[in-house]
Every structure is written in C-alpha cells, then in structure tokens.
Amino acid sequence: MLRVAIAISAAGGAFWASRDADGAYRGVTVDLAHALAADLGVEAQIIAYPNSNEITEDAARGAWDVTFIPMDDARAQKLDFGPVYNASESTWLVRPGLSLKTQADVDAPGVRPIAVANTTTGRAAAAFLQRAQVQGYATMPEIMEALRSGAGDAFAMSRDGLERLSRELPGSYVLPGRFFEAKTAAATPRGQTALLEAVTAFLRRAARDGRLRAILDANDMREAEIPAELLAGHAGA
C-alpha cells in the first residue's frame, strides 16, 4: 500500500484535488498517485488534508509515504523533494467591488491580503508585501467566505487555481503579473531515500512517455508546461 497525501479544494491545478459527491477523489495529484502506485505494483491509499501545511506537519508522524506539493526552503526542513513537475505564477484573486490593477496595488494601506496559512505561497506573499500584512486562513472555504464577506480583499495563490475560483465568485478577477513562481514537486518525509528515488524515476518516465502530459490535459491544464529538466531526465532513469 502506498499512502499518498493530497489537499482538497475547488481550486484544482497542479496541487489541489477535489472530492466528488460519490466520494471519489479527482485531480492531478490523485492521478499521479494511482500511476505511481501502479508502477510500484501496489495499491494507492489517498489521504486527504485541508491544506499543504497539514500535509507537511504530518510527515514527521509517519502518516503518509508520498505527496506532490509546492516546495520552499521552510518546507525542505521537513520533507525531501524530488523533481518539480509544474511551475506556475502566483498572483491575487481580488474580491468583487474592489478596484486593484497591479501587484503593487495589493501592497497599499487599507488593503487586506489573505492566503492559506503556513504555506509556500503565503510565505512568499508575506515576503513580497512591505506595507500590508497577510492574514492566514486554514481552509479554502474560509478563504472564499472572507472574499465574499469583504473580510479579505485579495487572495494569494497560483494563477491556474485562481482562474477556477474566480468563476465561483462573480465579479472577482485575477491580477496580471506575479509576485512568486510556485514550483510543485514530488516529496517524501525526510530520510526515505529509496522511496524518493523510485518516485523521481517514475516522474521522469511519466514525463518522457506522455503520461504526465495526459494527466495535466485531463485536469484542465493543457497550457501547463512540463519542466525541461524533467523531460530530459537522466541516463538509466
């Protein structure tokens, strides 16, 4: 059994997954989980979390074996990372009724930026902002309610996810430009060298044989580019 940690949200994209009314999990990370398990000759057990921070914190408790998650230096203290399989712009979803035009407009007096707490994008947003302070929320439903109620003005996340969320919040819009490039990669708890090598080899094969492209396309990510480093792979991988 291969226990794969995922995070649930309507945002979709390279990291977030969803759960259907019938209880089935859907998304890029779910498809990667099942493809990896099949390569290893085992069953995949999906373990769902509300955000990436809880996945990270559960690593030391041995609650899961593999995940696919945005990477940063803080997270690398608790996880070992394999290859990046997606890089995307991080920007802002602006709530209805507010007029912001640029990245700099978010960093202005009176603007209330928000993010998922203790995440790669949240930390990057805090580093970008000089005058405004990011308010963290634990779950995506809390984030969306903050935007609807006006408790938050601009939500930081990857552009692909924000485009989907914007459709659920009429009148909201995604800012052009970026404040950060989020890189989503395979990861294991620290010290799982053999497993990380197996996951790394799987992702390189999946990139070269078209499976990764097919998974991205099937999850509405046809414009996402596969990193050249992953496509190149290594001899013997």
Mean pLDDT over 165-193 rounds to: 95
Question: Looking at residue 161, what is its pLDDT?
Answer: 87
In terms of Cα–Cα distance, which of 107, 97, 89, 199 is closest to 148?
A: 97
Q: What pTM was computed for the model?
A: 0.83
Residue 233 binned pLDDT confidence (cut-offs 50, 70, 90):
low
CATH 3.40.190.10 location in the chain: 2-87+182-232, 89-180
Q: Are 28 and 17 in contact (CB under 8 A)?
A: yes
Question: Looking at residue 235, what is its pLDDT?
Answer: 39
* Sheet strands (E) in the chain: 2-8, 16-19, 25-26, 44-49, 66-70, 79-94, 113-116, 135-137, 154-158, 173-174, 180-189
Pick the CATH number of 89-180 from 1.20.120.330, 3.90.550.10, 3.40.50.970, 3.40.190.10: 3.40.190.10
Distance CA 228, CA 232 (A): 6
| CATH hierarchy code of domain 2-87+182-232 | 3.40.190.10
Sign of the alpha-carbon torsion through 121, 123, 129, 131: positive
In terms of Cα–Cα distance, which of 199, 162, 205 is closest to 67?
A: 199
Q: Model confidence over 95-121: pLDDT tens digits? A: 999 999 999 999 999 999 999 999 999
Question: Looking at residue 231, what is its pLDDT?
Answer: 87
* Tokens coding 39: 């390569």
Q: Model confidence over 184-220: pLDDT tens digits? A: 999 999 999 999 999 999 999 999 999 999 999 999 9
Q: Which of 4-18, 169-183, 223-237 has the lowest mean pLDDT?
A: 223-237
Q: Model confidence over 6-60: pLDDT tens digits? A: 999 888 889 999 998 888 999 999 999 999 999 999 999 999 999 999 999 999 9
Residue 160 binned pLDDT confidence (cut-offs 50, 70, 90):
confident
H/E stretch holding 37 reads: helix 28-40
Is residue 179's pLDDT more than 80?
A: yes
Distance CA 50, CA 130 (A): 28
Q: Give backbone dihedrals phi and psi of 174, rounded to 5 degrees, phi first.
A: -100, 130
Mean pLDDT over 222-234 rounds to: 84
Question: Which has more confidence, 230 or 80?
Answer: 80
